[in-house]
Amino acid sequence: MTAPTDHSSANAKPARSGRTLISVDAMGGDQGAAAVVAGCALSASANSDIAFILHGDEKLLTPLVAKRRELAGRCEIRHTTDVVTMDDKPSQVLRTGKDTSMWSAIESVRTGDAAVAVSCGNTGALMAVSMIRLKKLPGVNRPAIAVLYPSSNPQGFNVMLDVGADIRADADDLMRFALMGMSYARNGMNMERPRVGLLNVGTEEHKGRSELKEAYDLIRDQSEIAGYEFVGFVEGGDISGHRADVIVTDGFTGNVAIKTGEGTASMIGARLREAFRYSPLSRLASLLAYTSLMRLRKAIDPRRVNGGVFLGLNGTVVKSHGSADATGVSAAIKLAAQLSANRFNDKLAARVAAALPVEETEE
């Protein structure tokens, strides 16, 4: 089997400097353009192989970029006049969003100027624009959003998808999610042979939800040729556990699950801070344990692993948290750079196409 050759748009056109170009929506996040530019600067100093196409208001961006020595000669600004807000409806953005920084950022991937786009903007709108402009890969019925969830695995997190690109998935979609998630784990996280689990309410074969039983067989059947280990059904507790590296589920369940986990983590964090404020002794304790607690915070900090990635399109889109600060933006850019360097989307396209029935791959 050979990789399809018609996905040249997924390859980055190298900048004049020979650097990998990353397309960045500078306007969409809650923290404003300054945080995004600061994130680019952080990434630029950590990785000399990357450069940026920044999309947004030129008047605003030019002085922000000029202030950062690290970005000298490594930022092309593409002027846009409009911004997608967090309240904008996806359908509305599709109709009237052509002049937004988000649209322009995706456009740079469509034309092949960059292999990967990064945005902190409105997730629904970003998915809609990405779908319409980049189009789905052959063999993909539903694209998916994959996130990294903190886990007790050696790598410190698991890949989980779909977490909300769509609210449903049939058995065939779930099998593609397995392939896409595996490809992401391999190319984004350097895992040679990821273990894939299918989310269910129990690990034994379960009555009902026939699409899960069907997906079980499909995912198992692909495991050898695709080079992953299928560990079978996993439960909610395994999302943060060590039984699997890739957790496959539909977008409704995945979205509820990760928000439940994040909410629980932040409730515990708040209670912990309260506990440490409670008495003079506990306040002293929090000072003594400061370094250890900061290390813990870093390990379970969503900002460090916040690159939600849209998979299954002709081009990769990394969605950063809306509230991402410079650290968060920089983490998303780091992921984007690695995926771009690994020619991830070509490999993913080949992988998904390989799972198609023969007559379809020959289309």
List Cβ neighbours of 246 (8 Å cut-off, separation of 6 or more).
158, 159, 160, 161, 178, 181, 182, 184, 185, 194, 195, 196, 197, 228
Is 257 a binding residue for its own copies by CB under 8 A? The answer is yes
Residue in 23, 151, 183, 187 binding its own copies, rule: CB under 8 A: 151
Is 272 a binding residue for its own copies by CB under 8 A? The answer is yes
Is 232 a binding residue for its own copies by CB under 8 A? The answer is no
Cβ proximity to its own copies: between 200 and 345 the closer is 200
Residue in 57, 135, 231, 252 binding its own copies, rule: CB under 8 A: 252
Q: Segment near its own copies (CB under 8 A), from 14-22, 177-185, 205-213, 304-312?
A: 205-213
CA angle (277, 282, 287) in 5-degree steps: 90
Distances (CA, A) of 99 to 56, 81, 94, 113, 154: 10, 6, 11, 18, 44
Collapsing DSSP to helix, strand or coil, 330 comes out as helix
| Of 313, 321, 252, residue with least CA distance to 129 | 313
Return left, alpha or beta for 315; rule: phi > 0 is left, psi -120 to 50 is alpha, else beta.
Answer: left
Q: Is the dihedral of CA 271, 161, 158, 216 positive or negative?
A: positive
Q: How far is the CB of 284 from its own copies (least distance, A)?
A: 6
How many chain residues bind its own copies (CB under 8 A)?
A: 60
Q: Segment near its own copies (CB under 8 A), from 68-76, 172-180, 213-221, 274-282?
A: 274-282
Residue 191 corresponds to which amino acid?
A: M
How would you list the strands of the sheet with 50-56, edge to edge? 75-79, 50-56, 20-25, 116-119, 316-319, 308-311, 144-150, 157-161, 246-248, 195-199, 229-234
Is 235 a binding residue for its own copies by CB under 8 A? The answer is yes
Q: How far is the CB of 237 from its own copies (least distance, A)?
A: 3
Q: Segment near its own copies (CB under 8 A), from 71-79, 95-103, 248-256, 334-342?
A: 248-256
Burial 127-149 (b: 16+ CB within 10 A, else e): bbbbbebbeebbbbebbbbbbbb
Q: Alpha carbon 44 to chain centroid distance?
A: 20
Q: State which of positions 281-340 bind its own copies (CB under 8 A).
A: 281-282, 284-289, 291-293, 295-296, 299-300
Cβ proximity to its own copies: between 60 and 256 the closer is 256
Is 92 a binding residue for its own copies by CB under 8 A? The answer is no
Residue in 183, 253, 306, 345 binding its own copies, rule: CB under 8 A: 253
Q: How far is the CB of 202 from its own copies (least distance, A)?
A: 8
List Cβ neighbours of 95 (8 Å cut-off, separation of 6 or more).
none
Q: How far is the CB of 73 from its own copies (least distance, A)?
A: 42
User: Distance between CA atoms of 363 and 151, rounded to whole angstroms?
Assistant: 41
Cβ proximity to its own copies: between 22 and 239 the closer is 239
Quickly tell me which residue has 């004049």 as its tokens.
Answer: 16
Is 222 a binding residue for its own copies by CB under 8 A? The answer is no
Q: Alpha carbon 82 to chain centroid distance?
A: 24
Is 214 a binding residue for its own copies by CB under 8 A? The answer is no
Is 67 a binding residue for its own copies by CB under 8 A? The answer is no
User: Distance between CA atoms of 325 and 317, rounded to whole angstroms?
Assistant: 18
Count CB-CB contacts under 10 A for residue 252.
15
| Of 100, 95, 117, residue with least CA distance to 56 | 100
Is 205 a binding residue for its own copies by CB under 8 A? The answer is no
Is 122 a binding residue for its own copies by CB under 8 A? The answer is no
Is 271 a binding residue for its own copies by CB under 8 A? The answer is yes
Is 206 a binding residue for its own copies by CB under 8 A? The answer is yes
Q: How far is the CB of 270 from its own copies (least distance, A)?
A: 7
Is 66 a binding residue for its own copies by CB under 8 A? The answer is no
Q: Segment near its own copies (CB under 8 A), from 98-106, 200-208, 326-334, 354-362?
A: 200-208
Collapsing DSSP to helix, strand or coil, 3 comes out as coil
Question: What residue ranges bind its own copies (CB under 8 A)?
Answer: 150-152, 164, 167-168, 199, 201, 206-209, 235-241, 249, 251-253, 255-268, 270-272, 274-276, 278-279, 281-282, 284-289, 291-293, 295-296, 299-300
